[in-house]
């Protein structure tokens, strides 16, 4: 497994929508492994191929430590619950800053696994938050875009100051 360089905000590639994965092969499996290693080293609990400059619809999430890694290829949210929840979010591409985001409490999504098999899954709690956050990134929506303009400006100032 290789550690991949993570793009840092405000890299314009973080605002580009990713292309669907069409080839399910050893290269894709290696990329998923490399993303997992990169995410753990960051550290983080989720990362997309977009975070490392590869504009493909691939994300990995690991909420419960080693052995709990989940890989989602071409994920799309089919349903959002009307109930919402608030959770503190951040990004491996903007380390050191976080803020609270409101998102639907539950979702249903369709995705493919590394072999190309289509699957459907429902998620709530932290997994729901992470999936929405990472799928936003795959769609070219950076997490701070979910904040008010004032909060977004404060986060960017705080991040710029922390970077020196």
3-state secondary structure of 76: strand
Query: Beta-carbon neighbour count of residue 20 at 10 Å?
Result: 12
Burial of 65 (0-12, 13-18, 19+ CB in 10 A): exposed
Q: Is the peptide bond before 10 cis (omega within 30 degrees of 0)?
A: yes
The catalytically annotated residue of 56, 62, 89, 134 is 134
Query: Is 83 a catalytic site residue?
Result: no
Separation CA 84–CA 63 (nearest Å): 20
Give catalytic residue positions: 134
């Amino acid at each position: 497994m290789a550690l991949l360089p993570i793009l840092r905000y405000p890299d314009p590639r973080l605002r580009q929508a990713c292309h669907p994965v069409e080839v399910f092969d050893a290269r894709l499996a290696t990329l998923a492994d490399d993303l997992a290693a990169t995410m753990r080293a960051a550290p983080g609990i989720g990362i997309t191929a977009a975070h490392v400059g590869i504009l493909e619809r691939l994300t990995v999430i690991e909420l419960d430590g080693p052995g709990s890694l989940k890989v989602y290829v071409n994920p799309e949210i089919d349903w959002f619950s009307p109930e919402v929840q608030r959770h503190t979010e951040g990004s491996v591409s903007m380390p050191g800053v976080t803020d609270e985001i409101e998102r639907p409490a539950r979702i249903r999504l369709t995705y493919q696994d590394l072999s190309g098999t289509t699957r459907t899954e429902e998620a709530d709690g932290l997994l729901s938050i992470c999936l929405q956050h990472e799928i936003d990134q795959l769609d070219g929506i950076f997490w701070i875009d979910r904040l008010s303009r004032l909060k977004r400006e404060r986060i960017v100032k705080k991040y710029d100051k922390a970077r020196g």
